[in-house]
Amino acid sequence: MKRYSVTLIGMGPRGLSLLERIAAFARAHNTPLQVNLIDPAECGPGVHAPGQPQHLLINTVASQVTIFPFREAVELAPVCATPSLTEWAHAEGYRRFGDQFVQVAPGEEGGAAITPLDYLPRYLLGRYLVWAYDAIRAALPPTVALTHLRQRAIDMFQMPDGSFMVELDSGFSVGSDFVFMTTGHSRNNLTDEEAWCHKFAQDHARYNGKLAFIRHVYPLDKLVGIASDARVAIEGLGLTAHDVVSQLTVGRGGRFEPSGSGLRYLASGREPALLLFSRKCLPAAARGVNQKGLNGRHQTRFFTREALRVLRQQAQRERGSPQLDFDRELLPLLIREMGYAWRCALAEARSAPAPDPLHYALGAEERAAIDAMLFPLQGRKFATADDFATFFTCMIADDLSEARRGNLGSPIKAATDVLRDARAVLQDMIEHGGLTAASHRKFLSVYNPAINRVTFGPPGQRNEQWLALLEAGVLSVAAGPNAAVRIDEDRSQFALHTRFASGPTVQHVDALVVARLDVFSPETDESPLIRNLLKRGTIRPYYNGTFHPGGVDIDQANHPLDSAARPVGNLWALGYLVEGPHYYTHALPRPQLHSRQVLDAERCVRELFAQMAERDSARRQVRPRVFAGAERVTS
């Protein structure tokens, strides 16, 4: 049996899931393999670096995070122990001491046990993923040789026999029969406007020593150079903005203490003045307290895969295409699903019977609540920046009140949790051109930001902290919605221009920080590997008609399509690289659920081993045949 070589480019959580499945299949089939792992950093954590500060949190309760497959979701059992993040933290002796999570020796007392509802620091997630890599590596069968090359892949080309040669930034090259690309989050080249801001900051730094433009914030130590007396505009209000705010406050020595029913911020004096802004300038909703247990989910009744299948069949008959229009055909089902969850939570709160799903019709009350939740600015105008700031603060406070009621107790949080629990149906709806090009574009530009804001927000404590920072005057939203970034050459500052009903306002700032992760777009990505693969025609960008949502084009088996639309059969792309033909690829697996990351890894690795078996079978068939009566020839 030939020893095949398999290369994984990128060894974050996606690569780790692949390695775990490769270990399981190699052990079951006793397959000789050379596995090459290409990543300049430690294997496992990806962006969840173990060296991060404690104040940076994951936004999912730790009991709902794992890297290992649910046994019922895979063909072969994992090769090592499979604890969730919480189970691992307990076993390793981590306990909570106030806001800190500390590892204590066996038998030591103190602190509080980590609970299923805790949001743990990302550095602990990083340590968990490093531990998982070590456990998988230790459990590899002796037939598998593993090599970790701590370098970056910068090019890859196919040899005449179809195998790949992967070139590294050291000049070394790695030959491989099969390659998996799981390179994770990316960085795009600067847009014209960003390049203009960058050049302005460079050219005018001599006149204003506090002037800065930071386009890519990770790692967050890039923020060290921001002066404590600077005014800083943070563009974006999502999870990345929460990291930036935390780094520039708690990361600079500030701290929060309980005060009444909320928090009070005690400044260190080293915090700059922070101003939040974005197109909508709306806070991300806090996660509702989980009341569904480890693997509880809302059971969809209207927005289902079966309903989706029926709509596609109808569209094929009537229009000659299975593509759907989200607004017209799918949004009514989704809103009805959310409305039903809203009604059930309200009935539970009133000790009334739940509505009968067979006869449920969307009511005006829940429709109004859902519309206000998804699009709270609709029909609103603000006279002044102060009016908007009051609205913003009340919005956070009201949402926190709903979050404390839980994802079953609060009608609002029950409705938003539908969007999380029905993620698999959303994926089936969108992926591989499931929507028309125009509908796909509108979904990603209008509905997806609203879904992310109300469903995949920060832990509640983060929004409690923002309220305290607003009260302390460290944080401001004075720029309001739709602020335009301009430059003031006379003052050597950036200027944010906003039009309120009473007239325009201008906020001058010294530093502009873009707190937003890039959509992976192959044609604008700064990675040499992606640029070279595009030039060679090994990959191509994904397009739904004329719309490019991002990502590399792939077939249903995750094989990239080359420039001639042919699948590259011994190459796979998974995760954020294919966010475009796929949807919502960055979620980690959940215990006891059929998680997308695991299912992708299982399907692709199963095909890998099937291809190796086919090659071995073909090789045996072409061997010279030896006849029983042949005369032996000797020299």
pLDDT of residue 625: 55
CATH 3.50.50.60 fits domain 192-284+459-514 = yes
User: Once rounded to an integer, what is the mean pLDDT over residues 46-57?
Assistant: 93
- E strand or H helix that includes residue 275: strand 273-277
396 has a pLDDT exceeding 90 = yes
Give the per-residue pLDDT at 624: 59
Query: Do 160 and 50 meet the contact criterion of CB atoms below 8 Å apart?
Result: no
Provide mean pLDDT across the span 500-504: 95
Give tens-digit pLDDT for 571-596. Answer: 999 999 999 999 999 889 999 989 99
- Higher-confidence residue of 105 and 583: namely 583
Q: How do beta strands 475-476 and 484-488 pair?
A: unpaired
In sign, the C-alpha dihedral spanning 414, 241, 59, 401 is: negative
Average the pLDDT over 119-131 and give the result.
96
Is residue 618 pLDDT above 90, yes or no?
no
Mean pLDDT calculated for residue range 55-83? 94
Residue 470: how many CB atoms within 10 A of its CB? 19
Q: Cα separation of 127 and 150, whole Å?
A: 18
pTM value is 0.93
Q: Work out the number of other CB atoms within 10 angstroms of the CB of residue 429.
A: 24
pLDDT level of residue 499 (50, 70, 90 thresholds): very high
Q: Is the pLDDT of residue 629 over 60?
A: no
The answer to whether the beta carbons of residues 325 and 436 sit under 8 Å apart is yes
Closest by CA to 425, choosing from 312, 343, 342, is 312
Average pLDDT, the chain: 94
Given a cut of 80, is residue 622 above it in pLDDT? no
- Tokens for 372? 């206000």
pLDDT of residue 628: 45
C-alpha–C-alpha distance, residues 284 and 279, integer Å: 13
What value does the CA radius of gyration of the chain take, rounded to a whole number of Å?
Answer: 27
pLDDT (mean) for 325-343: 98
Of all residues in the chain, the percent with pLDDT exceeding 70 is 98
Residues with Cβ within 8 Å of residue 365, at least 6 apart in sequence = none
Q: Which residues contact 597 (CB under 8 A, 6 or more apart)?
A: 13, 14, 17, 575, 585, 587, 588, 589
What are 141-156's pLDDT values in tens digits? 999 999 999 999 999 9
Identical fold for domains 4-185+586-620 and 192-284+459-514, yes or no, is: yes
Residue 620's pLDDT is 82
How far is 218 from 224, CA to CA, in rounded Å? 12
Q: Cα(511)–Cα(573) distance, rounded to whole angstroms?
A: 37
What is the pLDDT, as a whole number, of residue 99? 85
Q: What are the boundaries of each domain within the chain?
A: 4-185+586-620, 192-284+459-514, 305-455
Phi, psi of 249 (to 5 degrees): -120, -80
Q: Is 442 exposed, middle or buried (0-12, 13-18, 19+ CB in 10 A)?
A: middle
* Confidence at 242, pLDDT banded by 50, 70, 90: very high
Assigned CATH for 4-185+586-620: 3.50.50
From residue 562, give the alpha-carbon distance in Å to each of 6, 559, 578, 581: 20, 9, 14, 15
Tokens at 4, concatenated: 């095949």
Please check the confidence at residue 610 and state whether its pLDDT lies above 50.
Answer: yes
Reading the block at residue 13, the tokens are: 């959580």
For residue 56, the model assigns a pLDDT of 95
